[in-house]
Amino acid sequence: MRSFMKYNEVIRSKDLIDSVDSLYRIVDDLRMMIEREFDTVDGLSEDTKLNILIGIIGLHKCRFNKTREMMEALRSANELVPSEDEIRSDFELESG
């Protein structure tokens, strides 16, 4: 199996899947903000809300860029499709 080195680590298809999954964290981040705003007595000031949203936007951009870089690295190394060993290993974990 060929591997592509980037940032001193081997990028595999599973790494890309994990990175894509991390993009969903924005939902948890927004839920936390909503909970803090509506489920507490104090709520959030306008400045705090804006700062939280700016931070969430910045984090999401970083996660997205990392995912795109991983996808491009795998695609250029012709490893975007998981190997038979990876598929077999994932199947064994699910059926185990």
Q: What is the pLDDT of residue 62?
A: 93
Span 18-61, pLDDT tens digits: 888 899 999 999 999 999 889 888 889 999 999 999 999 999 99
- Stated pTM of the model: 0.62
Distance of CA 1 to the CA centre of its chain: 25
Alpha-carbon span 46 to 23, nearest angstrom:
26
Q: What is the pLDDT of residue 1?
A: 38
Residue extents of the structural domains in the chain: 11-95
DSSP characters over 22-86? HTTHHHHHHHHHHHHHHSSSS---HHHHHHHHHHHHHHHHHHHHHHHHHHHHHHHTT--SPPHHH
Does residue 81 surpass a pLDDT of 60?
Answer: yes
Does residue 8 surpass a pLDDT of 50?
Answer: no
